[in-house]
Amino acid sequence: MAPKTSSDADARRVRRCRVCNSKDLTLVLDLGETPLANSYLERPTDPERRFPLRLLFCNDCSLVQLSHIVRPDLMFRDYAYRSSSSATVREHVRELAEYLHANFLTSSKDLVVEIGSNDGSLLGAFKGLGSRVLGVDPAKNLARIANERGLETIPEFFDASMAHQIRQTRGPARIIIGNNVFAHVDDLHDLMGGVAALLDEGGVFSIEVPYLGDLNQNVEYDTVYHEHLSYFAVHPIETLFAQFQMGLLSVTRLEIHGGTIRVIGTKSKKRIPRSPFIDLERKCGLDRLETFRDLGYRVEYQKSYLKYTLDKIKSEGRAIVGYGAPAKSNTLLNACGIGTETLDYVIDTTPEKIGKYTPGTHIPIYETERFRRDQPPYALMLAWNYEKEIILKERDYTGQFIIPIPYPRILSKNPGQ
Ligand code: TYD
Ligand code: ZN
């Protein structure tokens, strides 16, 4: 596959840190040039565009960030990811709505705004608890689904001017939520300006981001793709919030999506003490360049180990398929050079992905039923962050799952039985 590089007009090179504006950025990981992770192909011969996939470390605030930013409308206008597609996520958003509702809302008139509200799973849970809700999501296909479910959703990018407009027409928000959205945003200062303007005094801003500590510890390099512009530890988040007179109320580590942190910030005139998490991160080296240089070596080792494991199975003449076609699988497959010579097909539950082909590697995507019928001897669990859910669901599978992260493991037969 000869990589085709896209014109520079569609990808901006990062020269300054998104949080602290420093120019002191060092390249720490190079995953080559890959197509956009959610650009599933209608036909394997469709033309594709590739963009550099590299990570930079900020030597001033320690934010880890992509070196090239692809134009957002190429990535987020027609979004294949559906937050309601997994039982784990549905349960997670129900719990979050109950927690925030119980702790931070006082009246049913309080407004809850979700940025990046996807198909409305979380807002639906809030509405079920009697709250007034509003969603904002630039993916028109998802905003339509949410609106059809009676969850009012504005199909645009959230920014400072929209925040003012919402405040004028509906009043201030008591809670603003941005789950898995912070990592996607280039102009964080514009977003935070909007949040600070829309949020009521004493209101809270709750975000969830994949945690850099988990990426580093578990070598989750596949969570790196063009949609994820930043890879957060708590320290750069606190630095950013402080620029908007906001402090951190709490930081919680969660298992979801391969390791996430929920950070709840508040707008308050009172001084909020520094998060104890920051000392913890310093002890783990999350503020040091050497940590991420070392990560680069561990990624290379992991990639070779996975290739070796799969090549060995293929050399014995046994078939392997992929289980799940998440965005992250496309980083893994492209970075390792795994295509149809290794995987016969991948399966996925998302209707929008079935019948299409994986970007860059052109593997056909089928329904789960196909996997259940074929019972292939090996299945590479590309959606490894749902390991427990999948093993339970596929307890009748007679073959063996291969878990790629943190280091390839072949599970014994029927671990779910
Ligand atoms: P996810 O890991 O949530 O996100 P990302 O795309 O950001 O890496 O995506 C999970 C994918 O795995 C999604 O396409 C649905 C698919 N999936 C299945 O096909 N079967 C399953 O049982 C589960 C849990 C997920
Ligand atoms: Zn910085």
Quick one: pLDDT at residue 338?
Answer: 98
Q: Which residue from 76, 86, 328 has its CB within 8 A of the most atoms of ligand 1, so it is best to mutate?
A: 86
Quick one: pLDDT at residue 269?
Answer: 80
pLDDT in tens, 182-195: 999 999 999 999 99
Residue in 302, 372, 373, 295 with CA at minimum distance from that of residue 64? 295
Distance 354 CA to ligand 1 centre (A): 12
pLDDT in tens, 2-50: 444 445 679 999 999 999 999 999 999 999 999 999 999 999 999 999 9
Mean pLDDT of the 328-339 span: 98
Ligand 1 atom nearest residue 327's Cα:
6
Cα-flanking dihedrals φ and ψ of residue 83, to 5°? -70, -20
Distance 187 CA to ligand 2 centre (A): 13
Rounded to whole angstroms, the Cα distance separating 86 from 350 reads: 10
DSSP 323: E
Residue 292 in 3-state DSSP? helix
Rounded to whole angstroms, the Cα distance separating 64 from 106 reads: 38
pLDDT in tens, 120-147: 999 999 999 999 999 999 889 999 999 9
pLDDT in tens, 362-386: 999 999 999 999 999 999 999 999 9
Quick one: pLDDT at residue 68?
Answer: 97
Distance 86 CA to ligand 1 centre (A): 7
Rounded to whole angstroms, the Cα distance separating 137 from 146 reads: 10
Q: Whose CA is nearest to atom 14 of ligand 1?
A: 326
Which ligand does the CA of 332 lie closest to? 1
Q: Percentage of residues in the chain with pLDDT exceeding 90?
A: 87
pLDDT in tens, 51-79: 999 999 999 999 999 999 999 888 876 66
Q: Whose CA is nearest to atom 10 of ligand 1?
A: 326
Distance 232 CA to ligand 2 centre (A): 11
Quick one: pLDDT at residue 1?
Answer: 42
The gap between the terminal CA atoms of the chain, to the nearest Å, is 41
- In 123-280, the DSSP E strands lie at 132-136, 153-154, 173-179, 199-210, 230-231, 246-254, 260-267
HSE-CB at 400 with a 13 A cutoff on CA atoms is 12
- What does DSSP say about strands 25-34 and 11-13: parallel, antiparallel, or unpaired? unpaired
Ligand 1 atom nearest residue 390's Cα:
22
In order of start, what are the domains of the chain with their CATH numbers? 1-316 (3.40.50.150), 317-410 (3.40.50.720)
With 60 as the cut, is the pLDDT of residue 297 above it? yes
Residues with Cβ within 5 Å of ion ligand 2? Answer: 17, 19-20, 22, 58, 60-61, 63
Which ligand does the CA of 232 lie closest to? 2
Cα-flanking dihedrals φ and ψ of residue 183, to 5°? -70, -15
* Alpha-carbon dihedral angle through residues 179, 182, 185, 189, given to the nearest 10 degrees: 130
**Cis peptide bond N-terminal to 406, omega within 30:** yes
Mean pLDDT of the chain: 93
Residue 348 CB neighbour total at 10 angstroms:
25
Q: Whose CA is nearest to atom 13 of ligand 1?
A: 326
Quick one: pLDDT at residue 2?
Answer: 41
416/87: higher pLDDT: 87
- What does DSSP say about strands 11-13 and 153-154: parallel, antiparallel, or unpaired? unpaired
> Which residues does ligand 1 sit against, CB inside 6 Å?
81, 85-86, 324-328, 348-350, 383, 385-386, 389-390, 393
With 80 as the cut, is the pLDDT of residue 415 above it? no
Residue in 219, 405, 234, 397 with CA at minimum distance from that of residue 298? 219
Which ligand does the CA of 57 lie closest to? 2
